[in-house]
Amino acid sequence: MADDIQIYITGIDVPQGDSYEDIKKRKQIIKNFYALWNAAHPDKKLWNNSLQDYIYVKYISINETMGHASVSYESTMAVIRLTEILEKAVFVKKGPAKSNDKNQRPFDKMIVMMHQGIRLLVGHQKVTGEYVQYCITKKASLGR
């Protein structure tokens, strides 16, 4: 079914512009993609070889990625490679979560991972010890 998701998404005309309407449409595409992905992956996690642990996909994953990835066409297209990215991204660096960012409060550290020019930001939850996909964007830089 995961292959069906990519076919479904790639069959959609993803707007490439920078207008408010284009960004709004890309947000909806990302939201729809995550709904399909979650249906295909009911445990909402995938094993990552670099971390040697599971990376979970939660509400914060969808919310942050919708907000950041929808800003550019390239980042939106990167999101549809979610399964590949979660499994194959490699560790680049880790640092503390931003204390002034309310969305990062559940995390004690943030881990930057990369796969083919796509940046995966993963949060480590203090309470559960789980690694949670925080955001995916297409970037050349390794900074946060």
In a domain, 130, yes or no: yes
| Rounded mean pLDDT, 85-111 | 95
In a domain, 144, yes or no: no
State the residue range of the domain holding 72.
2-138
Q: Residue 141 has what pLDDT?
A: 43
Residue 61's contacts (CB-CB under 8 Å, 6 or more residues apart) are 34, 132, 133, 134, 135
In a domain, 143, yes or no: no
Q: Residue 3 has what pLDDT?
A: 46
In a domain, 57, yes or no: yes
Q: Residue 138 has what pLDDT?
A: 92
In a domain, 98, yes or no: yes
CA angle 70, 127, 61 (to 5 degrees): 10
Q: Residue 10 has what pLDDT?
A: 57
- Whole-number Cα distances in Å, 22 to 8, 10, 14: 19, 16, 8
| Rounded mean pLDDT, 74-92 | 95
Q: What percent of the chain has pLDDT over 90?
A: 84
Q: Give the model confidence (pLDDT) of 36-51 as tens digits.
A: 999 999 999 999 999 9
Residue 122's contacts (CB-CB under 8 Å, 6 or more residues apart) are 51, 55, 110, 111, 113, 131, 132, 133, 134
Q: Residue 9 has what pLDDT?
A: 55
The DSSP bridge partners found for residue 113 are 91, 120
pTM of the model: 0.87
For the cut 90, the answer to whether the pLDDT of residue 12 exceeds it is no
| Rounded mean pLDDT, 6-33 | 84
Based on the structure, what is the number of domains in the chain?
A: 1
Q: To the nearest whole number, what is the mean pLDDT of the chain?
A: 89
The tokens describing 52, both together, are 């040697």
In a domain, 76, yes or no: yes
| Rounded mean pLDDT, 65-93 | 95
Q: Residue 137 has what pLDDT?
A: 95
- Whole-number Cα distances in Å, 79 to 10, 62, 117: 11, 10, 12
